[in-house]
Amino acid sequence: MTKAKLLYVETFGCQMNVSDSEKITALLKGAGYNLTKDSSIADLIILNTCSVRAKAEQKVYSYLGRFKGFKGKNPRLLLGVGGCVAQQEGERLLEKVPYLDIVFGTHNLHLLPEIVLAAEKGRRLAEVSFIDNEKRLDLFPTDDTADGISRFVTIMQGCDNFCSYCIVPYVRGREISRRSSEILDEIRKMADKGVKEVTLLGQNVNSYGLKSRGEPDFAGLLQEVAGVSGIERIRFTTSHPKDISPPLIACFAELPKLCGHIHLPAQAGSDKVLSRMNRGYTRKQYLEKIAALKAVRPDIQITGDMIVGFPGEDEADFRETLSLMEEVGYADLFSFIYSVRPETKAAEYPDETSRLEKQERLERLQSLQRKMTLEGNRSFVGTRQQVLVEGTSKRGGQLFGRSSGNRVVNFAADPSLIGKIVDVAVIKAFQNSLLGELISG
């Protein structure tokens, strides 16, 4: 009997990559590879990379160095790099890392079984070509083995916005939307397998369908997804503030299945910095969109991203970021110190702020956010939340799930409730979660 081949996947970066890694796993299962969580016994190690921040890119090289040692123990071990670093570096990566076997780009996931087969026969190869609009179906390999309670569904890829700091349009290509019929088909199949919640995924989901004739816009797509029976909750990420349209805002009032949470990255609070970032909106316009969302869904939870220390950001600009955070009342925030990405416009900007000062600003911002997150969590104590139960929590004897507003809630109950939406009374708040008591199952 031939021994099963083992696949280990290391994922860096965003949810898009998490979703791509799931597809990589499903595609390679068809090529005879079973997933392992132990990299030291794998026959194929894939690093699904991110190059949005320089740190993530450096990590890839350090991981590759670590995995190189495994080749001595297992001569048939193959090492592959996919994702944004692969897209950016292509053949160069094979030259830089002589023990690397495979490089595949963000548009080439569907070719992976063939690429791996060739590598098993001793070929080293890099496939990083972009796909044109006509062949876009190949960009979205579906995972028919998908099950679970909550799943990602990729609806578009790439971005046309060219924010001055961002590498995505260069490594993921221009915006391409998937056909709505295929999206709905995939979601119906998921619902048949017991999936209850879908998160529609893309670099800028709000501009879904705008370049495709005969397709709905994003609000229209949400309405169609809401019509799929068995799907009880819908989320989406990521949104660009300039593309939040009135029909999309209306969906938060009209579609009960649409969860009360939106991830809406502002990136900065000062108009000067927003303009240098080429974000396409002002602070006032951003706050108007937030107000419109709160008007139709007063309990909506807002999360976002902030970049600290963008070239030219001074103390007054930074204070505008802090005040924007307070005005919005973010439930949570991803925040980072700006890092230069080659080829982007911002790479040419002079940057006079010291690293130390940027670090200090980041700490002030994160300390404010921690306080706001805890206060926000405390405001739920005494409320009743509908929780989709996702599994058993790390604490023994408890289940965990998420409220419509995306707060993690732990509570004691029977595991038979996993996959159901239940009412939970919130009795205690922590920094990262809520504790509740089951009201009804």
413: contact with ligand SF4 by CB under 6 A: no
Q: Please identify, using beta-carbon distances, which residue of 240 and 276 lies nearer to ligand SF4.
A: 240
Residue type, 237: T
Taking the C-alpha atoms of residue 370 and residue 374, their distance in angstroms, rounded to an integer, is 6
Q: Cβ 337 to ligand SF4, closest distance in Å?
A: 16
433: contact with ligand SF4 by CB under 6 A: no
Q: Please identify, using beta-carbon distances, which residue of 79 and 307 lies nearer to ligand SF4.
A: 307
**Encoded tokens for 251:** 């969906």
Contacts 24+ apart (CB under 8 A), 115-121: 115/80, 116/28, 116/31, 116/33, 116/44, 116/78, 116/80, 117/31, 119/78, 119/80, 120/76, 120/78
14: contact with ligand SF4 by CB under 6 A: no
Element at 296 (helix H, strand E): helix 283-296
User: Coil, strand, or helix at residue 380?
Assistant: coil
Taking the C-alpha atoms of residue 348 and residue 187, their distance in angstroms, rounded to an integer, is 43
276: contact with ligand SF4 by CB under 6 A: no
Residue 328 half-sphere exposure, CB side, CA atoms within 13 Å? 36
Q: Cβ 154 to ligand SF4, closest distance in Å?
A: 14
198: contact with ligand SF4 by CB under 6 A: no
Q: Cβ 159 to ligand SF4, closest distance in Å?
A: 3
204: contact with ligand SF4 by CB under 6 A: yes
Q: Cβ 322 to ligand SF4, closest distance in Å?
A: 21
**Omega before residue 238 within 30° of 0, cis:** yes
Q: Please identify, using beta-carbon distances, which residue of 70 and 170 lies nearer to ligand SF4.
A: 170
Mark residues 336-375: x for contact with ligand SF4 by CB under 6 A, - for none. ----------------------------------------
Residue from 51, 203, 237, 321 in contact with ligand SF4 (CB under 6 A): 203
| Cβ–Cβ < 8 Å for 80, 27 | no
Which sign does the torsion angle of CA 33, 44, 60, 136 carry? negative
Mark residues 155-194: x for contact with ligand SF4 by CB under 6 A, - for none. ----x-xxx--x-xx-------------------------
Element at 204 (helix H, strand E): none
Q: Cβ 79 to ligand SF4, closest distance in Å?
A: 28
212: contact with ligand SF4 by CB under 6 A: no
49: contact with ligand SF4 by CB under 6 A: no
289: contact with ligand SF4 by CB under 6 A: no
Mark residues 234-273: x for contact with ligand SF4 by CB under 6 A, - for none. ------x---------------------------------
Taking the C-alpha atoms of residue 365 and residue 357, their distance in angstroms, rounded to an integer, is 12
205: contact with ligand SF4 by CB under 6 A: no
* Total binding residues toward ligand SF4, as defined by CB under 6 A: 10
Residue type, 99: Y
Q: Cβ 187 to ligand SF4, closest distance in Å?
A: 24
Beta bridge pairs of residue 63: none
| Cβ–Cβ < 8 Å for 195, 228 | no
Q: Cβ 203 to ligand SF4, closest distance in Å?
A: 4
Q: Cβ 289 to ligand SF4, closest distance in Å?
A: 15
Q: Could you please report the per-residue DSSP string of 214-283?
A: T---HHHHHHHHHTSTT--EEEEE---GGG--HHHHHHHHH-TTB-SEEE---B-S-HHHHHHTT-S--H
Chain contacts with ligand SF4 (rule: CB under 6 A): 159, 161-163, 166, 168-169, 203-204, 240
